[in-house]
Amino acid sequence: MLFKDLSLIEPILRALQTEGYLTPTPIQAQSIPIILQQKDLLGCAQTGTGKTAAFAIPMLQLLAEDFVKGKKTKSPKALILTPTRELAIQIDESFAAYGRHIPLKRSVIFGGVSQHAQVMSLQQGVDIIVATPGRMLDLMGQGYIDLKALQIFVLDEADRMLDMGFVNDVKKIIAKLPQKRQTLLFSATMPKEIQDLANSILTRATKVEVTPVSSTADTVEQFIFFTEKKNKANLLTFLLKDKSIKSALVFTRTKHGADKVVKILNAATIKAAAIHGNKSQNARQTALQNFKNGAIRVLVATDIAARGIDIDELSHVFNFELPEVPETYVHRIGRTGRAGNSGIALSFCDVEEKLLLRDIQKLIGKQIPVRIDHPYLIPQAILEPKVFQTLPKELQKQKNPAPQKKKKKWYRKPSVKK
């Protein structure tokens, strides 16, 4: 199937051709016809499956048809809520790319920056708003946003909204929307609270589900480093001394962990910066720009902050800590080895993460090779053979040393005769 087979209008097909897109992904092929029929949709899909285009393309077509019919208003006709500033910017850029030949106005709304430019944009009249919940609710409260003409509402990354504590803000925004509207909800997972929310805001929705990615690209070489938790920072510094590592994206589980890693790397004269939810928007954008232009070699990120960020020609991905969800590993290392380029993924594993490694290897269907050429190798006595089946023979010998003969005691307690 090609995009031209999806009954898309010529301006959109022309824009897609400019972007070099000819064939829709599974989520796009299934979702676009449903949305064009103005039906509600429940999409189960993760970042990286092409879901932004799955809703942006048909939304642009529906709004363009209204524009041609002369249905013009300064009030927004479409609202997309997404959990992070980076995703909001990326979604706005997608609308700009696919809608370059359609005269619709957009505004992207997020916190961490002055609201002045955003308010000015809204006052000039917009058709599409892409927003994070906090700033959206704030501007609504100040009377800058009127949603009475809204036709299409998209809740993106609903499970992340729940994780980040935004669900109450989302519900407050939804309460202000017109009852008669088209609603699209996308979520990678469906916890009970998100399922309940979906049931409350969707009307006779069609469900589209894309199987989570479970395979890694052949263009990415993968390696595991067994080390103690306390030695991970030393190991990372040791490996990054290799000048052949041109650019590295390092994943940590927490914001605090990301900041700590950056501090250690900078102290070792390795230029690094962190991006996560506690950083200001300007700080995050500056860090990302410095990384892209080569001013810094290392970007340290949490999964939430890194979602939706595409970095061309990324040579290395480091899993400083293994993710708790196996699919997240696939998405993390999939940020390298793109567009025909090769990439390398290096993962650190301590004793507490042994079960996470087992689940990852089970998901991807292969054992990840072990690297032992470093000075921070974990003491082999505490490794479990059933978990670490990838260990080379020389390490297995270390794990099972030859039994030693018991030495005779040099002192024997004398017996006492009664």
| 3 state SS of 36 | helix
Given a contact cutoff of 8 angstroms between Cβ atoms, the answer to whether 3 and 29 are in contact is: no
CB atoms within 10 A of CB 190: 16
Distance of CA 104 to the CA centre of its chain: 28
CB of 319 closer than 8 Å to CB of 344: no
The predicted structure's pLDDT at residue 163: 77
Residues in contact with 168: Cβ distance below 8 Å, sequence separation at least 6, in sequence order: none
For the segment 126-177, what is each residue's pLDDT rounded down to a tens digit? 999 999 999 999 999 999 999 999 999 999 999 888 878 899 999 999 999 9
102, 175 in Cβ contact below 8 A?
Answer: no
In angstroms, rounded to a whole number, what is the distance separating the alpha carbons of residues 190 and 209? 11
**What is the second-level CATH architecture of the domain 3-209?**
3-Layer(aba) Sandwich (3.40)
Spatial contact of 382 and 261, defined as CB atoms under 8 Å apart: no
> 317: helix, coil or strand?
strand
Give the tens place of pLDDT for each residue, 6-38. 999 999 999 998 887 888 988 999 999 999 999
Report how far apart, in Å, the C-alpha atoms of 60 and of each of 98, 121, 264 are: 8, 19, 46
Distance, in Å, from the CA atom of 407 to the CA atom of 109, rounded to the nearest integer, reads 75
Residue 118 has pLDDT above 80, yes or no: yes
- 49 DSSP 8-state letter: S
| Domain coordinates in residue numbering, the chain | 3-209, 220-399
**For the chain, counts of helices (H) and of strands (E):** 16, 13
Q: pTM of the prediction?
A: 0.61
Using the 8-state DSSP alphabet, how is residue 173 labeled?
H
Residue whose pair of structure tokens reads 């263009």 in the numeric block: 219
> How many CB atoms sit inside 10 A of residue 196's CB?
10
The pLDDT confidence band at residue 368, using thresholds 50, 70 and 90, is very high
Least confident of 37-46, 50-59, 145-154, 324-333: 324-333
Task: Give the CATH number of domain 220-399; options: 3.40.50.300, 3.20.20.70, 2.30.30.90, 3.30.2020.10.
Answer: 3.40.50.300
Q: What's 202-261 look like in SS3?
A: CCCCEEEECCCCCCCCCCEEEEEEECCHHHHHHHHHHHHCCCCCCCEEEECCCHHHHHHH
Range with lowest mean pLDDT among 61-65, 81-85, 162-166: 162-166
State the Cα–Cα distance between residues 318 and 195, nearest whole angstrom.
34
- What pLDDT score does 412 carry? 45
pLDDT for residue 283: 83
What pLDDT was estimated at residue 34?
97
